[in-house]
Amino acid sequence: MKSSVTSRRTNALLLLFPLALLTGCGTQQKPLVEYRTISQPNLPIPAELTSPIDVPPVPDNMTFGQSVELSAQLYGALGQCNVDRAGIRQIEDTRASH
């Protein structure tokens, strides 16, 4: 007899415990969230990215050593152009994604 009373109490507690958990969730309210799309103005591309790059002059009577120096200077100018183009592409990509 004592075990049936204990099992009834245990069953009653097992049924009431989940109900207490569920009633605790019922009183919470979700906060109101407002979503807005904000448009950003298109800013001009910085002048340092669009300014002309100075190309070194080519001498009339060029020696082999001067041609190597000229090649190095032209390679540097080409590298600067690529850096500027990459910066412009990055600006355009951020404009397109927004």
Q: 69-98, pLDDT tens digit by residue?
A: 999 999 999 999 999 999 888 888 887 776
CB < 8 Å & 24+ apart, contacts of 49-56: 49/84, 49/87, 49/88, 49/91, 50/84, 50/88, 53/77, 53/80, 53/81, 53/84
Query: Which residues form the domain of 94?
Result: 50-98
Q: Please indicate, yes or no, if residue 74 is contained in any of the structural domains.
A: yes
Instruction: Tell me if 17 is assigned to some domain.
Output: no
Answer yes or no: is 14 within a domain: no
In a domain, residue 60? The reply is yes
In the chain, the DSSP E strands lie at none
Would residue 25 count as lying in a domain? no
Q: Is residue 27 part of a domain?
A: no
Rounded Cα distance between 47 and 34, Å, is 38
The answer to whether residue 96 sits within a structural domain is: yes
Residue 9 lies in a domain: no
pLDDT digits (tens, 9 = 90+) for 36-54: 887 777 778 888 888 888 8
43 phi-psi bin (left φ>0, alpha ψ -120 to 50, beta other): beta
Number of folded domains that form the chain: 1
Determine if the pTM surpasses 0.75.
no
